Amino acid sequence: MILHLASFRWADGVTDDDVARLTTALTAMAAQIPELRSYVAGPNLHLRPGGMDYAVAAVVDDEAGLHTYLDHPAHAQVYADLMGDMLAERAAAQLPLSAGELR
The sign of the CA dihedral 68, 83, 54, 87 is positive
Q: Is the pLDDT higher at 98 or at 25? A: 25
Check whether 103 has a pLDDT greater than 60.
Answer: no
Q: Answer for the pair 69, 79: CB distance below 8 angstroms, yes or no.
A: no
What integer pLDDT is reported at residue 101 of this predicted model?
A: 63
Give the CATH number of the domain where residue 65 resides: 3.30.70.100
* DSSP β-bridge partners for residue 6: 56, 92
12-63: pLDDT as tens digits: 999 999 999 999 999 999 999 999 999 999 999 999 998 999 999 999 999 9
pLDDT band (50, 70, 90) for residue 99: confident
The residues near 99 (Cβ < 8 Å, ≥ 6 apart) are 1
- Tally of structural domains, the chain: 1
pLDDT of residue 71: 97
pLDDT, position 98: 85
Q: By residue range, what is the domain housing residue 59?
A: 2-45+52-101
Quickly state the pLDDT bin for 76 (edges 50, 70, 90): very high
